[in-house]
Structure 1
């Protein structure tokens, strides 16, 4: 799902004012709400999703009910169900009312269908993915200060749609030989090569965070850092980011070097592994 991490901004609605009126929202509040340029961001980490809607952040797991506080402190029992590119949120209130928001995502569009047991109609809200071009067009009338505040505060996402995705190991080529050349015992090689390893890459400003198995490494491109690998071995490690490729080079005190070249796409990750103690090239293949 390449829409994870993207900022979707509200464009227009159909009958959402009627939807709110059926819920007893005062007209002044309806007008205010329908005129807001609301934004929505959806992220995923493992089996946990995080929805950032305006100033509210909600974390959830598909199909797991939880207590939610909505406007003016009203409590609901809320469940999100994820089915492909569609996320359905159902809110159940103590007096018996229910509200349902069905969010249908694509790369650059989001359509939210809103229904409630207090009304027979169907309302829609339409969003588009936020881009620098979008904000330039909207604020081309000369409000440059607001344009820049919005552009940087909302952190326009990178084109790299693999950020935040969980990539799971599928197969390898010659990675056992790669490990053997480093002196790893055979039983340990068998264990490593059979693990369903997962890798997540995230980005916040100019800092990247790589989560591989149970190890989290934060880095900035081109900045050398001290890293502990394997059974407590120390190395000097540098990450270089070039487009969709992240190359990690580890330099050890005995002169050996190890290089992992990670090539990302939306749903695939190929890791090329080489080391100075071996003339071969190994590969590890992951899928999102």
Structure 2
């Protein structure tokens, strides 16, 4: 079975941990966080070659991702942020990078995989970038 075939199908929500903290980090307001925490979306994955489609559907909202692996595209996230997204595989993990367009925005890495119990797991990580610079001595020869 290919990695893509493991994802194909419909997945019903079971539970989440720290979802409110994630929503707060990306700037979702209190009222919308309250609504989002109570949603139990169904996810449907379909794959045709390199083209994937993921549909997240709840009684409140429907969000669709249609993409080709490795190709960046413009996305409006379910909470309304504008990002550049890119999906790719790292082994058995479907990775999504959401790169914030606004300087004040947060970039996120999502990792989707099927665990040992056959459950779809989605891990979200706020991307923190640290830059370090070394001092360089410049010698002027006259």
Deviation by residue 1:129-179 (Cα, 9 ceiling, x = unmatched): xxxxxxxxxxxxxxxxxxxxxxxxxxxx73654343211111111111111
Pick aligned residue for 1:200 from 30, 37, 44:
44
- Residue aligning to 1:106: none
Within the candidate set 111, 114, 132, 1:264 is matched to 114
The runs of 5 or more residues in structure 2 that have no matched partner are: 129-142
Q: Look up the SS of the partner of 1:263 in the other structure.
A: strand
Quick check: 2:7–2:45 contact (8 Å CA) kept in 1?
yes
- Normalising by structure 2, we get a TM-score of 0.74
Task: Say whether 1:254 aligns with 2:93.
Answer: no
2:32 counterpart residue number: 188
Aligned residue in 2 for 1:229: 77
After the TM superposition, which residues 58-137 of structure 1 pair with which residues of structure 2 at under 5 Å, given as runs?
none
Residue 169 of structure 1 pairs with residue 13 of structure 2: yes
Larger radius of gyration: 1
Q: Distance in 2 between matches of 1:158 and 1:253?
A: 33
8 Å contact from structure 2 (residues 63, 78) kept in 1:
no
Taking a change above 3 Å as real, the CA distance of residues 180 and 232 of structure 1, as seen in their structure-2 partners, is closer
Q: Distance in 2 between matches of 1:158 and 1:240?
A: 14
SS in structure 2 at match of 1:235: strand
Q: Distance in 2 between matches of 1:216 and 1:276?
A: 23
Whole-angstrom CA distance in 1 between matches of 2:28 and 2:83: 17
Are the aligned partners of 2:4 and 2:47 in contact in 1 as well (CA < 8 Å)? no
Give TM-score scaled by structure 1 length. Answer: 0.39
SS of 1:173's partner is coil
Deviations 1:73-109 (A, max 9, x none): xxxxxxxxxxxxxxxxxxxxxxxxxxxxxxxxxxxxx
- The 1:230–1:208 alpha-carbon spacing in structure 2 relative to 1, beyond 3 Å, is closer
CA distance in 1, matches of 2:4, 2:64: 20
Q: Whole-Å Cα distance in 2 between the matches of residues 193 and 231 of structure 1?
A: 13
> 2:127 — aligned with what?
276
Structure 1 unaligned runs (5+)? 1-156, 278-288
- Distance in 2 between the 1:261 and 1:216 partners? 17
Q: CA distance change for structure 1 residues 231 and 190 in 2, over 3 Å: closer, same or farther? A: closer
